[in-house]
Amino acid sequence: MPTDTLVAWQPPTIAPVDRATETALRARIDGKAKPPGSLGRIEDLAVALGAIRHPAEPRCDNAVLMVFAGDHGLTAEGVSQYPSAVTVAMVMTYLAGKACANAFAAGSHVDVRVIDAGVAAELPNHPDLIDAKVRMGTGNAAREPAMTPDEAALALNRGAELAIAEIKAGAEIIALGEMGIGNTASSSLLLHRLGPAPLDACIGVGAGQDAPGMAKKRAAIEMAAARSAATAPFEVLCEFGGLEIAMMAGAILGAASQRRPVIVDGFIATAAALLAVRLAPAARGYCVFAHRSAERGHDLALQALEARPLLDLELRLGEGTGAILAIPLLRAAARLMTDVADLSDVLAGKL
């Protein structure tokens, strides 16, 4: 890989979350009309959101789900139970408003954006589809790099630009989702190198691989790992992909640069968060982890990020479904800070 490109790509400037404000935020929450600590982890979430936005008040009413879609050359090795064609078919389903992500989003008043990061098909023009395609799917990482350094930089930058544009248009919180047949294999390789974590412990059934399929998936992932010894985060992305993962990592960096929280979904979104945090450690403070996925390896990814997820519902769908389910919790935490009276006023009969 040409080192000049490595030097050329830089993450956006991210201010570390101001931990010094946390004591004051905790005291403010302790003074609310409730016994101190009685809202448990919602109080921790309120402190985290308050610190992210300080001195502004935390607000999470305007939420946007960004679903990044991309294909993976690794599918040629049989890593997934499903063919790549399911990626484009699901993109069309999001655009028709008929996927699980749409249903959950509608229930929680969350806007959905669908982003073509690298689907291996020409997509029709559609008012709700953002064309950010870098290429028609990644290279087969078992045999060649998933993408060039220029493609990786483009995907990261486009993800950041898209998240920043959403924030400038009024989004107070960004939820991340993805769709990409084969992307759990790519995520396993990212986790293995960036966690780091033992390769076998990073591999799971994905969208539902059977036993013979798991043997193919393991062999392909081992082949990819043997092909490249990369451990530097940008190089690991180039070697193992994917485009939607790169764009999600970019979106995290972009939102963090605007001091806005990002809700991270399951295994693949967490691999993207790991990539973002290894590229720019200050991004970690802006990530809220929605749920513990049933996918093997997700716990290791969460541990690598010292993250405790909000929910544990045995989900393993992706497409941002877990992130959407966590949004009411973030909204409640933000409103605890902004809408709840002080106990001192209650006891003084001021209400």
Ligand X SMILES: O=C(O)c1ccc[n+]([C@@H]2O[C@H](COP(=O)([O-])O)[C@@H](O)[C@H]2O)c1
Min separation Cβ 190 and ligand X, Å:
13
- Is residue 116 near ligand DMD by the rule CB under 6 A? no
* 329, 310 Cβ separation under 8 angstroms: yes
- Is residue 175 near ligand X by the rule CB under 6 A? no
Nearer residue to ligand DMD within complex by CB, 9 or 82: 82
Instruction: Please choose which of ligand X, ligand DMD, none residue 268 contacts, taking the beta carbon within 5 to 8 angstroms, the exact cut-off set by kind.
Output: ligand X
Evaluated on CA atoms 174, 179, 180, 184, the torsion sign reads positive
Nearer residue to ligand DMD within complex by CB, 280 or 325: 325
* 79, 220 Cβ separation under 8 angstroms: yes
Largest CA distance in the chain: 72
- Is residue 206 near ligand X by the rule CB under 6 A? yes
Nearer residue to ligand X within complex by CB, 206 or 250: 206
Instruction: Report the 10 Å Cβ neighbour count for 57.
Output: 13
- Is residue 214 near ligand DMD by the rule CB under 6 A? no
For residue 302 the two structure tokens come to 């969460």
Min separation Cβ 86 and ligand DMD, Å:
5
For residue 329 the two structure tokens come to 């919790």
Among 43, 151, 239, 295, binds ligand X (CB under 6 A): 295
- Is residue 82 near ligand DMD by the rule CB under 6 A? yes
Asked about 244 being catalytic, the answer comes back as no
* CA dihedral of residues 318, 319, 322, 324 (deg, nearest 10): 180
Evaluated on CA atoms 49, 51, 53, 57, the torsion sign reads positive
* Contacting ligand X within 53-92 (CB under 6 A): 80, 82
What do you get for the CA distance between the two ends of the chain, in Å?
66
Instruction: Report the 10 Å Cβ neighbour count for 217.
Output: 25
For ligand X, which stretch binds (CB under 6 A), given 60-68, 102-110, 291-299, 330-338?
A: 291-299
Among 89, 207, 214, 311, binds ligand X (CB under 6 A): 207
Instruction: Report the 10 Å Cβ neighbour count for 200.
Output: 13
* 298, 292 Cβ separation under 8 angstroms: yes
Q: Backbone phi, then psi, for 259, in 5-degree steps?
A: 60, 45
Instruction: Please choose which of ligand DMD, ligand X, none residue 172 contacts, taking the beta carbon within 5 to 8 angstroms, the exact cut-off set by kind.
Output: none
- Is residue 207 near ligand DMD by the rule CB under 6 A? yes
- Is residue 149 near ligand X by the rule CB under 6 A? no
Binding site residues, ligand DMD, CB under 6 A: 82, 86, 90, 179, 207, 317-319
The residues annotated as belonging to the active site are: 319
Binding site residues, ligand X, CB under 6 A: 80, 82, 178-185, 206-207, 209, 265-268, 293, 295, 298, 316-319
